[in-house]
């Protein structure tokens, strides 16, 4: 599978975008979760070949993108970054997929830009889940106790297994390869742990998004994928999203937790491919 990499400028930051598949294929833009990275979607990109061009953004503060010195890690800033990617890479119309935090960003962007987004996939995200769910409380607790660095790879692997017991060893190894870098004789995170932690644990209330208005404003066909064992997106919320907006359908991915495409990559790939259908001509 061909790969290209791009740098996009937004608010003084360099943002990295991975780009897989046929450069002339129908574009699908993918947005990762709070502590993830663009390359988490490489497997899904491969499953959508041939026909689709899959682009994945390293959100500010993660992966190969710059850290924000102002710790501006909020939905409005992330959506601004998505706009920059769309404009600078010339994506006049495309499909959009987001997981967790990326799902929130995808919903807000798609609601505001119905002329741009053909189809939307939301992976285990919805109103209230970010603020008041068992998964949200788990994530906040994990952020509170996550070390800034590790003595060696084994220590990092043990920590990741503890907080991601449902994720395969292969997915854990892939995550750590993309998330850690040598620094001062230790291994530290490649994401802005301190800044992201501060924005998540002590957020500016004025910048916390009520997701119901954009959910109700969506006009494109939308598929919500819920992990069958998710502690983040509840069944009642997924049902309410579909009830409030006829453009939304939802389905569960069995034997998956919140990290749906890590837990069940083949099932997620089938669900996304079926929903997107044959790639349109660009």
pLDDT tens digits, 34-86: 999 999 999 999 999 999 999 999 999 999 999 999 999 999 999 999 999 99
In-domain check, residue 249:
yes
pLDDT band (50, 70, 90) for residue 171:
confident
Cβ-in-10-Å burial (0-12, 13-18, 19+) of 109 comes to buried
Q: Residue 167 pLDDT > 80, yes or no?
A: no
In-domain check, residue 257:
yes
In-domain check, residue 24:
yes
Q: CA nearest 59: which of 119, 125, 103? A: 103
pLDDT digits (tens, 9 = 90+) for 189-225: 999 999 999 999 999 999 999 999 999 999 999 999 9
In-domain check, residue 114:
yes
Q: Is 10 left (phi over 0), alpha (psi -120 to 50) or beta?
A: beta
Q: CA nearest 57: which of 26, 43, 36? A: 36
Mean pLDDT computed over 165-178: 83
Structure pTM?
A: 0.95
What confidence score (pLDDT) does residue 209 get? 95
Q: How many domains would you assign to the chain?
A: 1
C-alpha torsion sign, points 33, 35, 38, 44: negative
Q: CA nearest 63: which of 189, 196, 200, 199? A: 189
Give the DSSP letter string of 202-261: S--GGG----HHHHHH--S-EEEEEETT-SSS-HHHHHHHHHH-TTEEEEEETT--SSHH
Q: Are 231 and 154 in contact (CB under 8 A)?
A: no
In-domain check, residue 159:
no
Q: How many CB atoms lie within 10 A of CB 72?
A: 18
What confidence score (pLDDT) does residue 164 get? 81
Q: What whole-number distance in Å separates Cα of residue 247 and Cα of residue 241?
A: 10
What confidence score (pLDDT) does residue 49 get? 96
What confidence score (pLDDT) does residue 172 get? 87
In-domain check, residue 193:
no
pLDDT band (50, 70, 90) for residue 235:
very high
In-domain check, residue 155:
no
CATH of the domain at 120: 3.40.50.1820
What confidence score (pLDDT) does residue 175 get? 84
Mean pLDDT in the chain?
Answer: 95
Q: Which pair of tokens denotes residue 126?
A: 């919805």
Residue whose structure tokens are 């509840």:
234
Q: Are 276 and 167 in contact (CB under 8 A)?
A: no
Percent of the chain with pLDDT over 70: 100
How far, CA to CA in Å, does 56 sit from each of 5, 64, 129, 213?
10, 12, 23, 26
What confidence score (pLDDT) does residue 281 get? 85
pLDDT band (50, 70, 90) for residue 163:
confident
What confidence score (pLDDT) does residue 168 get? 77
Residue whose structure tokens are 């991975």:
18
Length of the chain, in residues: 282
Q: What whole-number distance in Å separates Cα of residue 133 and Cα of residue 255?
A: 19
Enclosing domain of residue 27:
3-129+211-276
């Amino acid at each position: 599978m061909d790969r290209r990499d791009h740098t996009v400028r937004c608010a003084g930051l360099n943002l990295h975008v991975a780009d897989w598949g046929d450069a002339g294929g129908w574009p699908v833009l993918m947005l990762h979760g709070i502590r993830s990275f663009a390359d988490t979607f490489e497997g899904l990109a491969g499953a959508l070949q041939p026909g689709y061009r899959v682009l994945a953004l390293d959100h500010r503060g993660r992966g190969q993108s710059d850290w924000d010195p102002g710790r501006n890690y909020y939905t409005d800033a992330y959506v601004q970054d998505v706009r920059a990617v769309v404009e600078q890479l010339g994506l006049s119309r495309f499909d959009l997929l987001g997981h967790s935090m990326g799902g929130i960003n995808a919903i807000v962007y798609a609601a505001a830009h119905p002329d741009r987004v053909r189809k939307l996939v939301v992976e285990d995200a919805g109103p209230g889940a970010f603020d008041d769910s068992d998964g949200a409380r788990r994530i906040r607790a994990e952020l509170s106790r996550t070390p800034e660095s590790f003595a060696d790879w084994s220590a990092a692997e043990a920590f990741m297994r503890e907080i991601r017991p449902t994720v395969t060893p292969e997915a854990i190894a892939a995550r750590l390869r993309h998330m850690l870098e040598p620094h001062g004789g230790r291994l530290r995170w490649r994401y802005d742990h301190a800044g992201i932690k501060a924005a998540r644990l002590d957020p500016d209330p004025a910048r916390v998004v009520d997701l119901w208005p954009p959910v109700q404003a969506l006009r494109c066909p939308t598929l919500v994928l819920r992990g069958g064992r998710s502690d983040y997106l509840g069944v009642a919320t997924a049902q309410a999203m579909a009830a409030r907006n006829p453009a939304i359908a939802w389905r569960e991915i069995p034997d998956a937790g919140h990290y749906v495409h890590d837990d069940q990559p083949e099932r997620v790939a089938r669900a996304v491919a079926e929903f997107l259908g044959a790639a349109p001509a660009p």
